[in-house]
Amino acid sequence: MNAVLWDLDGTLADSREFHWRAWHDTMAKHGAGISEAQFNASFGQRNDAILTRWLGDKATPEVITQIGDEKEALYRTFVEAEGITPLPGAADWVRRLHEAGWLQAIASSAPRANIEVMARVLGFSGVIRALVGAEDVRRGKPDPDVFLAAAARLAVPPARSVVVEDAAAGIEAARRAGMKSIGVGLGLSAADICVAALTDLPQDVFDRLVT
């Protein structure tokens, strides 16, 4: 069996605006305003890393849990109330790979509750076989834990797994996991294959990466 391990934010869907609004509103509520530049520099990282950078010594485990939980709950409210659509090519590739017999997982730094909501709203719940989030691993990307955990849940070896990512940290995590990778976006030359968008991928690209 072969597997495709999808990053979520920026790869399958663009949820950046929802994350920005949720972080902005939550941090303001706690009297710690953030700029959009600060948000951009942290996007895609785990909440513990983000809040430690923003709050310094004030980022105790209790504070990280409280603020992080509030932010993620607000984020999910935005997604469910306003909806979200797959990025160009994402839904077609998920469907096509499913029909071709590939096993698929979402492997993300996001909390699992977020992943579950997004998979449902995006219409992937019946196709994506496994969801792996921040709670499932000890270390975030660029450590390989999240991809190794996803492959293990699908019972597919790393050498038969292909990672699809939009961030350099994710591409490095795939390399450390012993997996081939597809980079979607700019500045991802370390990936085995790099394209501007999923719609640019050749039809046989996944098969070529695992042969």
pLDDT digits (tens, 9 = 90+) for 181-207: 999 999 899 999 999 999 999 999 999
> What torsion, rounded to 10 degrees, do the Cα atoms 164, 169, 18, 42 define?
-170
Residue 180 has a pLDDT of 98
Q: Please report the domains of the chain, with CATH numbers, ordered by start residue.
A: 3-13+86-209 (3.40.50.1000), 16-82 (1.10.150.240)
- How far is it between the farthest Cα atoms of the chain? 54
Q: What predicted TM-score, i.e. pTM, was given to this entire model?
A: 0.89
Q: What is the pLDDT of residues 71-85, one digit of tens each?
A: 999 999 999 999 999
Q: How far is CA 160 from CA 82, 91, 206, in A?
A: 37, 22, 10
DSSP string, 60-71: -HHHHHHHHHHH
CB-side neighbour CA atoms (13 Å) of 166: 22
pLDDT value at residue 200: 97
For residue 44, pLDDT beyond 80: no
Residue 13, pLDDT score? 96
pLDDT single digits (tens) 140-188:
899 999 999 999 999 999 999 999 999 999 999 999 999 999 999 998 9
Averaged confidence pLDDT in the chain? 95
